[in-house]
Amino acid sequence: MDKLRKSYVSGAGEHPLTYETIGEAFDRIVGDYGEREALVVCHQDIRWTYRELAAEVEKAAAGLVALGLEKGDRVGVWAPNSAEWVVMQYATAKAGLIQVNINPAYRISELEYALNKVGCKALALASAFKSSDYVAMMAELAPELKGQKKNCLELARLPALEHLILFGDEPVPGYYRYRDILELGRDRRREELIRIAASLDPDDAINIQFTSGTTGSPKGATLSHFNIVNNGFFTGASMRITEQDRICVPVPLYHCFGMVLGNLAALMHGAAVVYPNDGFDPGLTLKAVHDERCTALYGVPTMFIAELERPDFAKYDLTSLRTGIMAGAACPIELMKKVVGDMHMGDFTIAYGMTETSPISFQTHPDDSLERRVSTVGRIHPHVEVKIVDEAGRVVAPGEKGELMTRGYSVMIGYWGDEDKTAEAIDPAGWMHTGDLATLDGDGYCRIVGRLKDMVIRGGENIYPREVEEFLFHHPAIEDVAVFGIPDKKYGEALCAWVKLKEAANLSKEELRTFCDGQIAHYKIPKHIRFVDAFPMTVTGKIQKFVMRDQIIADLAAPATGSEKE
């Protein structure tokens, strides 16, 4: 390609954009690859062909309609990776319902906010996951559940919620069981789903994913069929995925990484997806690759590090692997060498994107050099535009740093119920402000060099300090608080909090962490806490987080002095 004259790229592609709903794409692939394996869920001992998956999806979609849910209603899914999760993904799409992805790590206050923000009419949930007892949390949030019938819920703190669907066999007052929904759908005529399908449009909203906002409240990025069907296709195409491939997906489905780059990329090419476990486990991931002869493996850098550092790593046969995706944080060159060499992933790719862009904008190519695949996030995806601009909005020269902005089919519809925030994010010309600082070289390769927003990425999870700060402000002993990130060997970044207490107030680090426990996700609880009398400020009164960050880093690097460690 010609050398860039300015930091603007647009992706050409041999394949045109696909204008179809998820349901239409699903039916087309089932028609082409019905007898091929579609889904393997190791921890549930489930193995379905595309035709068998389609039968389950059709029953679930009909069951949701039988509940009285109508096109455009929101259905939350609050669960770890499972067969039920992917069935709900396709069933809601076929029924014209908007799936709302709820982070499995969410606690009570976060769940309440998410359900009410988008007005979820139904919530499908697991009974528990790791340290989270979802049923117990719902009982605390809605204590009146015990005395209510499952088909007519009236909950004071969740006024829009009418139906609860439990992924499990145990009967719980106020809940439908997942199998009850399948039974409801058995007697529904296929013609009803055909009628609904005819009313759907690829530009309809079909998925809401929450991204934490810099103002403290998570925002519901609303994506269409058109957004994620195409992004799934082109992500898979960049890895040369075909119906012969088997993609190991240890990343969470509630995130675009699992749902779009995993499930939809596989669907759009007739490949199979393999879930090693309900949550990430390095040993079970390697076992799944070994047992299922997976050809692709996904993860954030910390996942690959954990897999490579297993004492029994050598016992797993990974020679079936060919490709995969690493995203969520920068990949060190030594890690990349081990992934390519020790894990046999010669066609391994690096990808960059954000939830609001469905998600991928840039991806490396299997033919790119190892240096390119470590130092850049690749080149622009087909049918996507990107420009790098300075503070005045002017496009900068190649190699110059500026904010990355993107435009095209992948840009979200907007933030649910928040026109002002949508207008701040997407300008009148359709350009999405990513908040990331980047450069484009003369060949169009992108480097992410920083963030305009003070976001922290811990083990692939995006944390916005303002959200944590606003939660901590609720503590009666806290007068002021500043939250920021510092480098961390294991997770990429760790969360720090400087806390100023009210006069005569007392609070320990353990008490503050207890205050957070069960109310916000575990990864948002600060690892390092420091109680201070004042914050470093500019002359205009703005807190200087970079000064705090440098001080914490220096203190942690200094030899122990007997004082309490951060």
Q: What CATH number does the domain containing 374 carry?
A: 2.30.38.10
Average pLDDT of the segment spanning 92-103: 97
Residue 466: what pLDDT? 78
Reported confidence tier of residue 537, pLDDT bands at 50, 70, 90: confident
Q: Residue 294: inside a domain, yes or no?
A: no
Residues 126 and 224 grouped into a single domain: yes
Q: Residue 297: inside a domain, yes or no?
A: no
Residues 48 and 101 grouped into a single domain: yes
pLDDT at 566 over 70: no
Residue 186: what pLDDT? 80
Residues 156 and 246 grouped into a single domain: yes
Q: What does the buried/exposed string (b/e) look like for 6-38 if buried means 16 or more CB atoms within 10 Å of the residue's CB?
A: ebbbebeeeeebbebbbbbbbbebbeebeebbb
Residues 40 and 85 grouped into a single domain: yes
Q: Residue 39: inside a domain, yes or no?
A: yes
Question: Of 226, 247, 279, which closes a domain?
Answer: 279
Task: List the structure tokens of 220.
Answer: 């519901």
Separation between Cα atoms, residue 297 and residue 286, nearest integer Å = 10
pLDDT at 561 over 70: no
Domain of 122, in residue numbers: 22-279
On average, the pLDDT of the chain sits at 93
Residues 352 and 222 grouped into a single domain: no
Residues 141 and 247 grouped into a single domain: yes
Separation between Cα atoms, residue 314 and residue 425, nearest integer Å = 47
Q: Provide the 3-class DSSP secondary structure of residue 547.
A: helix
CATH number at residue 520: 3.30.300.30
pLDDT at 361 over 90: yes
Q: Provide the 3-class DSSP secondary structure of residue 387.
A: strand
CA distances from 414 to 194, 254, 417 (A): 28, 19, 9
Separation between Cα atoms, residue 437 and residue 466, nearest integer Å = 20
Nearest to 323 by CA among 299, 298, 347: 347
Residues 158 and 119 grouped into a single domain: yes
Residue 564: what pLDDT? 42
Question: Of 407, 425, 451, which closes a domain?
Answer: 451
Residues 6+ apart with CB under 8 A from 381: 11, 231, 234, 235, 238, 360, 361, 362, 363, 410
Q: Residue 507: inside a domain, yes or no?
A: yes
Residues 447 and 465 grouped into a single domain: no
Reported confidence tier of residue 541, pLDDT bands at 50, 70, 90: low
31-42 pLDDT, tens digit each: 999 999 999 999
Q: Residue 292: inside a domain, yes or no?
A: no
Residues 96 and 189 grouped into a single domain: yes
* Phi, psi values for residue 480, rounded to 5°: -150, 155
Residues 26 and 118 grouped into a single domain: yes
Q: Residue 103: inside a domain, yes or no?
A: yes
Q: How many domains does the chain have?
A: 3
CATH number at residue 116: 3.40.50.12780
251-289 pLDDT, tens digit each: 999 999 999 999 999 999 999 999 999 999 999 999 999
Separation between Cα atoms, residue 377 and residue 353, nearest integer Å = 9
Q: Is 395 exposed, middle or buried (0-12, 13-18, 19+ CB in 10 A)?
A: middle
Q: Residue 291: inside a domain, yes or no?
A: no
Residues 460 and 486 grouped into a single domain: yes
Question: Of 279, 303, 320, which closes a domain?
Answer: 279
Note the pTM of the prediction, 2 decimals: 0.86
120-150 pLDDT, tens digit each: 999 999 999 999 999 999 999 999 998 888 7
Residues 463 and 485 grouped into a single domain: yes
DSSP, residue by residue, 460-502: TEEE-HHHHHHHHTTSTTEEEEEEEEEEETTTEEEEEEEEEEP
Q: Residue 166: inside a domain, yes or no?
A: yes
